[in-house]
Amino acid sequence: MKKVDSSFDIWSPWMLRALQLAALGDGCTSPNPLVGAVVLDNAGQLVGEGFHACAGKPHAEAIALQQAGKKARGGTLVVTLEPCCHQGKTPPCTESILKSGISRVVVAMEDPDPRVSGSGISRLRDGGVHVLVGLFENQAAHQNRTFIFRVRNGRPWGTLKWAMSLDGRIALPNGVSRWISSQEARSWVHSLRSICDAVIVGGGTVRSDNPLLTSRGLSSPEPLRVVLTRSLNLPSNAQLWNTSRAKTVIAYGSDASRDTLLQLPAAPELLPLKSADPLELLNALSGKGCNRVLWECGPGLATSAIQKGCVQELAVVVAPKVLGGNSSMNPLDSLGFTSMKEVLHTSNDSVKQLGQDWLFRNILLDQEV
């Protein structure tokens, strides 16, 4: 915990506003972070605000400064992430800030992007701007956890979702799983998809459930729908092969036969991998600009994704139902544990009601984040 300057206090309401603004871009900014900014004039009056809405579009600081115009002179910029100092798709924010005549910048946290990483702050200080860093740092880091994770680890943050009965079953013994969860829980899954950059399933889920995997229009563009398949045993007809509303990627390993490849549907993009490995897939998806992926797969792939460190968070819907079962239809396969000392621990601070169901959102602990 960094020591926070007591002079921060007066900026707290504005940083909270900047965090709220940043959240408006949730799900739309990848590979960029969420950023919100507020400009106050030299009397402390609000004269501009903005958020980063989409990669390629103006940064939060640029929008807020443009709104403020000349009123920014001698004023304060409050921003949720360190301003960039490099030329990307848009000009460096540090230069706009210096030009604006802003005399103070309050920053929640340094940008972990190696192209910034403190250089933005240095550039401002060198230009004579008073810079305060660390106000609501934890909140800002939590808000941008998927971006930060991707920058640090080179792969997107993974959320694994399943819906189960009170006795821990994800389907009946005959495979029937529609519907364990309530309409409200299923709608919530649509909203979860809308803030993810990609939704991943295995071939088995395509074969058995023929899912649509969209946010039902909540986000535009829809998240990328990814099928990770080792066998390439895919049905010729599937909702995922219709790419008019959302893109589909079929990712497969190098042992796929040419004959099988030729039989694949035409519309989806093909993504050849060395092996059909979750980690290799995520590295490839990082290259496609994904900060966050949602695993909506069956037990086999889900277990493999956890084992490879591709899952940072669980979203578990528990329905007030009892399904029973014989020897299958559980959310996960064996993780090879033989002692309670080995089991994975999760946070337990987030549970809420979704219709008649309960939703647990638990961070997997003891993982690199």
Enumerate binding residues for a second copy (CB under 8 A): 164-169, 172-174, 176, 178-180, 303, 306, 314, 316, 318, 320-328, 330-340, 343-348, 351, 353, 356-358, 360, 362, 364
DSSP conformational letter for 241: G
* CA atoms of 343 and 30, how far apart (whole Å): 33
Q: How far is the CB of 345 from a second copy (least distance, A)?
A: 6
Beta pairing partners, 294 = 159, 199
We find the least distance from the C-beta atom of residue 362 to a second copy, in angstroms, to be: 6
**Cβ pair 180, 61 in contact under 8 A:** no
Residue by residue, what is the 3-state secondary structure of 283-302?
Answer: HHHHHCCCCEEEECCCHHHH
Shortest Å distance, C-beta 333 to a second copy: 6
In the complex with a second copy, which residue's Cβ is closer, 176 or 267? 176
Q: Smallest distance, Å, CB 361 to a second copy?
A: 11
* C-alpha neighbours within 13 Å on the C-beta side of residue 123: 20
Neighbours of 169 (CB within 10 A): 22
Spatial distance between the Cα atoms of 14 and 104, rounded to a whole number of angstroms:
13
Residue 85 CB, nearest approach to a second copy (Å): 41
Catalytic residue among 49, 61, 137, 313: 61
Kindly tell me which of 175 and 287 has the beta carbon lying closer to a second copy: 175
Cβ closest to a second copy, residue 213 vs residue 306: 306
User: Of 23 and 166, which CB lies nearer to a second copy in the complex structure?
Assistant: 166
Q: Which is nearer to a second copy, 130 or 345 (CB)?
A: 345
Q: Can you tell me the distance from the alpha carbon of 329 to that of 324, in angstroms, rounded to the nearest whole number?
A: 10
Residue 353's Cβ-count burial label (10 Å; 0-12, 13-18, 19+) is: exposed
Residues 6+ apart with CB under 8 A from 187: none
Q: How far is the CB of 163 from a second copy (least distance, A)?
A: 11
Give the residue among 33, 10, 31 at the shortest CA–CA distance from 120.
33
**Residue with structure tokens 């519309």?**
267
Report the residue number, 99 or 179, with the smaller CB distance to a second copy. Answer: 179
| Residue number, 253 or 355, with CB nearest to a second copy | 355
Q: Active site includes 61?
A: yes
CA–CA separation, 280 and 155 (whole Å):
9
Helix 60-68 with 12-23: angle, nearest 10 deg: 120
Among 74, 72, 60, CA closest to 25: 60
Calpha distance 220→200 (Å, rounded): 18
How near is the Cβ of 153 to a second copy at its closest, in Å? 20
**What's phi and psi for 251, nearest 5 deg?**
-105, 135
Would you call 307 exposed, middle or buried from its count of C-beta atoms within 10 A (0-12, 13-18, 19+)? middle
Give the side-chain half-sphere CA count within 13 A for 300: 10
**Catalytic residue IDs:** 61
